[in-house]
Amino acid sequence: MPVEFDDDVFPAVIVGAGLAGLSAAVHLAARDIPPLVLEADTEWAGGCLSGGPPDTFEFGDRTWSFRSEHGAHALWGGYDNMRAMLDHFLDIELRASEGEEWINRWKNRVRWHEAGTAVRRTWLVAPFHYLQLLLKPRFWNTITPLDFLSLPGFLISLLLTVGFDPIEEGIELEGLLMKDYFRLWTPNLRATFIGLGHSLLAAPSEKISLSAFIAAIRYYTLLRRDTWQLEYLPANAHDCLIQPMIDFIEGKGGKVILGARAVSLQREETHWQVRVDDARRGGIRSLEAAHVILAVEPPAAQRVLMDSPGTADAAASITFPPALRNATARLWFDTVPRDGAPGGMFTGEFAIDNFFWLHRLHEEFFEWHRVTGGSAIEVHFYATDDVLDQSDQVLLIMAVDEVQRAFPRLRGHFVHGAIRRNGKTQTQFLVPTKDSLFVETPWPQLYACGDWIGHPSPSLWMERSCITGMEAANHVLRAYQAQPFAIIPPREPEPLAQNMGRIVKIGRRIVGPPIRFIARTLRRI
């Protein structure tokens, strides 16, 4: 039975055309509820998956041009809802990762080993599967006998991780940072795993809370071996993911408008009035919406809600996480590095974080390799402002130097480089608490979605965007008596990790209250 709509009121207006907003829009469109999606950027939809103008240069009597992008390339093993969305609505064939390398620089030594397959294919069950690395000869090159002094600290950190679920418990350990997780670890091993934190949370150490790190390592790798299984997008995210989502939405009668920034919301008797600054037409105009889904980064959400008289009071008590900027560097060489995995991460004293060999992943870079015999790598800077404030030239020199340290065969073969600076669209992940914004907001017929929005799912980043987008869409679907979409539950921890977690939680309940009582008493003295 077709859904009936008021001709003067849009059934759903979605503010933001990032992955979360487009996920909500795709699921609405699939049920014949045509959404209107507003995107403030005048050129590119996609948010943290947005495209960009091409990187163009001359080499070998030919002009080469490669589409730039934000820097997202892979889906993790636990991204089950995102995979389901791709299977249902888009024609994307993901490429399973052959492994992931950890390249560690400690003082003047650079050592590498392939860690991904060792962690996920081991016979050791979670949460002890990382010990399989000790059976890898190359891993021994990255540690010293002194690092075995980290064993007590490792066990304490392990118990803390399996026995404390920050997202389920809604606890942000205020004031504690990721570095506190590694207090009893040796410097070399600490630096190696801090690099893992940078890559998992797309942020520098100073911006990673202890709760966020525990949530990330629980979700991505520690509770199950199969969650550390990456699958790569076959092309840049705009071409193979964002544009196909827009095409699907518009093919079902929806619309995505670029250059349309929502500036405020006004609640009417039965619907919302959305005031929009339209950069393409010029000026402010108003739209009427039966339902609104807010799908923007935290600063933009805060600005809209605080600038709207009907939502400002309640919004003042909501905690909005900060947003971070980052940068990527793409480097082209006229030769190839040693054989190895298509991606991985830099740890220790490297100034760059994760990396992807694009000539092993994307068709347009396959041609560069076929014609020139060369290679292309993308590296990410999840850095502090003092690093990111430097010029493009300085960042480029830094990236080339670091890559050549890791892959000496490339020395003297650099051809071209490009820096892309991503504005503050990357959320500093904070564990959602009672003061956070949730999918179901305090206001009627106004919902929220995004990688920072409160939801019981333990997921992060792209999977969290998809899940909250689906949940927001489901609220609208129910309002129109349309069938909601089932959300795939998270994978259960492996039995040993699950049972260890239960034991630790029981211990926390027993010893926690007296410890808190003693601490409060000491503070009064």
- Residue 299 burial (C-beta neighbours within 10 Å; 0-12, 13-18, 19+): middle
pLDDT in tens, 365-423: 999 999 999 999 999 999 999 999 999 999 999 999 999 999 999 999 999 999 999 88
Q: What percent of the chain has pLDDT over 70?
A: 95
Binned at pLDDT 50, 70 and 90, residue 364 comes out as confident
Per-residue pLDDT of 20-73, as tens digits, reads 999 999 999 999 999 999 999 999 988 888 888 899 999 988 999 998 888 888
Give me the architecture of the 50-97+230-235+323-426 domain, per CATH.
Alpha-Beta Complex (3.90)
Q: Give the neighbor-by-neighbor strand order of the sheet with 100-106.
A: 109-114, 100-106, 343-348, 354-357, 375-381, 323-333, 414-427
Q: Can you read off the two tokens belonging to residue 188?
A: 């070399």
Q: DSSP 3-state assignment of 347?
A: strand
Q: How confident is the model at residue 487 (pLDDT cuts 50, 70, 90)?
A: very high
Q: Which tokens go with 111?
A: 């050592």
Domain ranges for the chain: 13-47+236-319+428-479, 50-97+230-235+323-426, 117-122+137-228
- In this prediction, residue 514 carries a pLDDT of 58
For residue range 83-114, what is the model confidence (pLDDT) as tens digits?
999 999 998 889 999 889 989 887 778 888 88
Q: What is the pTM of this model?
A: 0.93
| CATH class, range 13-47+236-319+428-479 | alpha beta
pLDDT of residue 379: 96
Element holding 395 (H helix, E strand): helix 392-406
